[in-house]
């Protein structure tokens, strides 16, 4: 880096944006790919005509990610309306570019408006707020949401001039990220370079909070002087990278699986480079593990290669797979050797490798087992046309030669992805035995602090050992929530559960809706209270009753995408959240249910009891093992709705169009709109019912696995440890005495 001759340097001007810097902050490889893309295309596009109609936010979103972007647009507009209401004509709305405008021509047109001009009569700035001001500066270009006028004062408080301070609107409700700050610092620096105005003292973020009528957006502020060094350091690093030759860029970084992949434009390119059967797809393998496995370059970089290693090279003392799994793995050896090389060669290279202590024996065993389980599943897929056996890596069926992928197109007809058509095999399972489960649970418990053990003590039974037999009195529970029902708050809009009525399981839904079938936070609280009172009454009548739920990974995705939006993952936590700052008998009922271990998270049971040959332990995978089939809809039933719901994000998307239909243009026919809303609500209810039914199926399947495993007690057992006791020193004694006195009215 940095030693290339002038002839090797990038021949085009690389132009980045704040959003691309944000992407680079998440993934180092992104900057290499973006720079290479611009080199190949002769530079970044200068046309800015795509912004000509960017203020149209009334069209319904096309999916979950588009919905989030649209929510950001609404928040920005809400901030704009607050500034306009306060400053009136003092707000400049920068005009959108024309269709044929470039960044240069657009900025020139804006400069003709003299947005930073001082009024000669008053000596004041012409505008208090400037909306959507574009900047180009040192290889960067971007559009500041808002510039707000701030007076500059000297040490005596005397006004000596003014400047503008950048403000960005963000959906995050309580925390600003480093990437947010980098964007703002760029705008501050570009503003100083473009005008004669001094560097702003502060930069601000308008977080996703409510804006009361007549008030301005609440801002989270950062002192420019304290953080500008960070931006300059980042910019220097960017310039070093964008100044490299193409050859240097191609060898500079390698793609790594990260949280940004789901939002990255280059993910298809990275997937192609990773190739089929990449270790990136090995469940439980973190980056440090993948690096340890491929330490000698091309050592072990495929899941199938890892699965080919004999058990004796991993740990000859570990417990073997069951007979059926061993048999299936043995049958695959010739096929895998043909793909990835001979066992002899792989074994030799493995034994000669440089050891890496970041991968201990227990982790190695777990990952090797996972590789074997995933390989068995992957190599036993079926062709959807002829039914013959295929590998999930096959592009064409070896029997009928049909193409095993289907193209997914965007609205412009461009192919944006390929979806596999392979019929995936049911994954094999490796059940832990009694000793392994006990060791796993106790090791984790013993690492807890004394305070943590009070709660962790109850979690000791969350495995196949402590799982109760299904009972006709059990309840299976699931929630549906929207992290941005309103920009400033989330809502749990549906509490769904099933209960046994006679011989049948019946589904019950409690919606957080008012008499107009619209959600409200008050109704959310009332729905949660109603649920708790129902559950508590059932439990009192049948104390052996348990409430089973499943901690969905889709909801973790929602939380990650929504930044610091409230977590919707754990059933007791969801209910407790609706009781914040609330007192009453319902709170006591809820605490009694929790204290008596009535809530059971089946995901914890699964994680603590087995390994499964899927990339995830989400309910959508685990239900396949239990034989649960979700309902399917005729095409005509989904007309005008898009598609059925296959994951939590889909439920959020459909609910957005149900609850916030007035925000979007969805036709003028009120009867059609009403019918579409009813269909969306029913789709969500169906999805929720499928989730709770799948949870019941999984519970029954788990008990069946315990009963058929030779090394597990058929009826389970309790893991016993002494109940933890918190310190009871002078402070605790004083608090207790005061509490006792207050309870009887004494001082």
Domain shared by 342 and 475, yes or no: no
Which range among 365-379, 472-486, 569-583 shows the weakest confidence by mean pLDDT?
A: 569-583
* Beta carbons of 100 and 51 less than 8 angstroms apart: no
The answer as to whether 391 is a domain residue is yes
Which range among 357-361, 538-542, 615-619 shows the weakest confidence by mean pLDDT?
A: 357-361
Segments forming the whole domain that contains residue 335: 268-429
The answer as to whether 55 is a domain residue is yes
* Three-class DSSP category at 617: coil
Looking at per-residue pLDDT, the higher value among 9 and 59 belongs to 59
Domain boundary among the residues 405, 429, 453 is at 429
Which range among 46-50, 143-147, 378-382 shows the weakest confidence by mean pLDDT?
A: 46-50
* Beta carbons of 333 and 272 less than 8 angstroms apart: no
The answer as to whether 336 is a domain residue is yes
Domain shared by 150 and 200, yes or no: yes
Whether residue 3 is predicted with pLDDT greater than 60 in this model: the reply is no
Model confidence band, residue 155 (pLDDT cutoffs 50, 70, 90): confident
For the domain that residue 196 is a member of, what is the CATH number?
Answer: 3.90.320
Domain boundary among the residues 224, 241, 258 is at 241
Domain shared by 480 and 419, yes or no: no
The answer as to whether 178 is a domain residue is yes
CA torsion sign for 255, 258, 260, 264 is positive
Domain shared by 384 and 489, yes or no: no
Looking at per-residue pLDDT, the higher value among 287 and 423 belongs to 423
Show Cβ contacts of residue 403 under 8 Å, excluding neighbours closer than 6 positions.
395, 396
pLDDT given for residue 33 in this prediction: 94
pLDDT given for residue 450 in this prediction: 82
Model confidence band, residue 585 (pLDDT cutoffs 50, 70, 90): confident
Domain shared by 629 and 704, yes or no: yes
Whether residue 541 is predicted with pLDDT greater than 90 in this model: the reply is yes
The answer as to whether 248 is a domain residue is no
The answer as to whether 132 is a domain residue is yes
Model confidence band, residue 59 (pLDDT cutoffs 50, 70, 90): confident
Domain shared by 373 and 475, yes or no: no
CA distance linking residue 159 with residue 177, whole number of Å? 32
The answer as to whether 653 is a domain residue is yes
Which range among 290-294, 529-533, 735-739 shows the weakest confidence by mean pLDDT?
A: 735-739
Model confidence band, residue 259 (pLDDT cutoffs 50, 70, 90): confident
Model confidence band, residue 551 (pLDDT cutoffs 50, 70, 90): confident
The closest alpha carbon to 315, from 350, 345, 291, 278, belongs to 350
Number of domains in the chain: 3
With vertex at residue 512, the alpha carbon angle to CA 508 and CA 516, rounded to the nearest 5 degrees, is: 110
Domain shared by 424 and 436, yes or no: no
How does the average pLDDT of the chain come out, rounded? 86
The closest alpha carbon to 146, from 75, 214, 198, belongs to 75
* Beta carbons of 227 and 185 less than 8 angstroms apart: yes
Domain shared by 558 and 511, yes or no: yes
CA torsion sign for 520, 523, 525, 527 is negative
Domain shared by 371 and 439, yes or no: no
* Beta carbons of 204 and 193 less than 8 angstroms apart: no
pLDDT given for residue 729 in this prediction: 59
* Beta carbons of 189 and 173 less than 8 angstroms apart: no
Domain shared by 466 and 404, yes or no: no
Domain shared by 457 and 378, yes or no: no
* Beta carbons of 497 and 475 less than 8 angstroms apart: yes
Q: Hey, which of 30-34, 372-376, 460-464, 664-668 has the most confident mean pLDDT?
A: 372-376
Looking at per-residue pLDDT, the higher value among 368 and 297 belongs to 368
Domain shared by 402 and 444, yes or no: no
Model confidence band, residue 455 (pLDDT cutoffs 50, 70, 90): confident
Domain boundary among the residues 429, 452, 472 is at 429
């Amino acid at each position: 880096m940095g030693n290339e001759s002038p002839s090797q340097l990038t021949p085009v001007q690389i132009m980045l944006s704040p959003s691309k810097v944000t992407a680079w902050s998440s993934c180092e490889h992104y900057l290499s790919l973006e720079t290479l893309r611009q080199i190949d295309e002769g530079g970044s596009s200068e046309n800015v005509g795509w912004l000509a109609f960017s203020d149209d936010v009334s069209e319904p979103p096309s999916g979950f990610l588009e919905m989030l972007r649209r929510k950001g647009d609404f928040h920005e507009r809400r901030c704009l309306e607050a500034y306009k209401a306060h400053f009136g004509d003092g707000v400049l709305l920068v005009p959108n570019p024309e269709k044929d405008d470039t960044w240069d021509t657009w900025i020139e047109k804006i400069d003709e408006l003299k947005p930073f001009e001082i009024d000669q009569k008053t000596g004041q700035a012409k505008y208090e707020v400037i909306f959507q001001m574009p900047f180009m500066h040192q290889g960067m270009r971007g559009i500041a949401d808002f510039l707000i006028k701030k007076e500059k004062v000297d040490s005596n408080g005397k006004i000596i001039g003014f400047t503008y301070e950048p403000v960005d609107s963000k959906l995050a409700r309580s925390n600003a990220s480093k990437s947010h700050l980098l964007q703002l610092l760029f705008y501050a620096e570009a503003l100083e370079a473009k005008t004669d105005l001094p560097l702003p003292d502060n930069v601000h973020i308008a977080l996703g909070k409510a804006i009361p009528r007549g008030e301005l957006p609440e801002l989270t502020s950062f002192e420019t002087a304290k953080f500008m060094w960070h931006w300059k350091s980042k910019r220097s690093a960017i310039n070093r990278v964008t100044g490299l030759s193409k050859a240097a860029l191609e060898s500079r970084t390698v793609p790594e699986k990260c949280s940004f992949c789901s939002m990255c434009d280059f993910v298809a390119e990275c997937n192609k480079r990773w190739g089929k059967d990449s270790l990136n797809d090995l469940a439980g393998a973190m980056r440090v593990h993948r690096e340890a496995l491929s330490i000698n370059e091309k050592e072990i970089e495929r899941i199938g290669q890892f699965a080919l290693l004999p058990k004796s090279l991993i740990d000859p003392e570990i417990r073997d797979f069951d007979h059926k799994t061993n048999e299936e793995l043995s049958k695959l050896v010739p096929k895998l050797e043909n793909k990835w090389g001979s066992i002899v060669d792989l074994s030799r290279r493995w034994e000669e490798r440089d050891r890496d202590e970041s991968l201990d024996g227990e982790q190695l065993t777990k990952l090797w087992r996972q590789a074997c389980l995933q390989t068995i599943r992957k190599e036993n897929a079926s062709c959807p046309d002829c039914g013959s056996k295929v590998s999930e890596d096959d592009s064409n069926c070896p029997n009928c030669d049909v193409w095993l992928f289907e193209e997914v197109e965007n609205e412009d007809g461009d192919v944006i992805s390929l979806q596999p058509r392979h019929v995936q095999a049911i994954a094999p399972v490796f059940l832990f035995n009694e000793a392994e489960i006990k060791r796993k649970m106790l090791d984790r418990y013993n690492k807890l602090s004394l305070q943590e053990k009070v709660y962790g003590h109850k979690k000791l039974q969350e495995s196949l050992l402590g799982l109760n037999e299904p009972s006709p009195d059990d309840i299976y529970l699931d929630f549906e929530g929207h992290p941005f029902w309103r920009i400033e708050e989330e809502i749990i809009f549906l509490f769904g559960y099933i209960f046994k009525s006679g011989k049948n399981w019946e589904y019950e839904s409690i919606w957080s809706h008012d008499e107009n079938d619209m959600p409200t936070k008050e109704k959310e609280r009332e729905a949660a209270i109603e649920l708790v009172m129902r559950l508590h009454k059932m439990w009192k009548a049948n104390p052996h009753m348990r409430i089973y739920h499943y901690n969905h990974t889709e909801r973790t995705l929602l939380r990650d995408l929504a930044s610091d939006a409230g977590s919707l993952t754990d059933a007791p936590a969801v209910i407790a959240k609706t009781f914040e700052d609330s007192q009453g008998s319902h709170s006591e009922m809820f605490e009694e249910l929790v204290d008596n271990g009535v809530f059971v998270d089946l995901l914890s049971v699964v994680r603590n009891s087995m390994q499964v040959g899927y990339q995830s332990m989400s309910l959508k995978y685990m239900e396949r093992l239990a034989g649960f089939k979700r309902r399917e809809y005729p095409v005509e039933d989904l007309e005008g709705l898009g598609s059925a719901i296959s994951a939590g994000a889909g439920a959020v998307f459909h609910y957005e169009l149900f609850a916030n239909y007035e925000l979007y243009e969805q036709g003028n026919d009120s009867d059609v709109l009403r019918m579409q809303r009813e269909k969306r609500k029913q789709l969500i209810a169906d999805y929720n019912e499928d989730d709770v039914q799948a949870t019941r199926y999984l519970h029954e399947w788990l008990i069946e696995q315990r009963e058929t495993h030779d090394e597990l007690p058929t009826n389970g057992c309790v893991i016993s440890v002494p109940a933890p006791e918190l310190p009871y020193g002078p402070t605790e004694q004083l608090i207790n005495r005061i509490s006792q006195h207050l309870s009887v009215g004494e001082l």
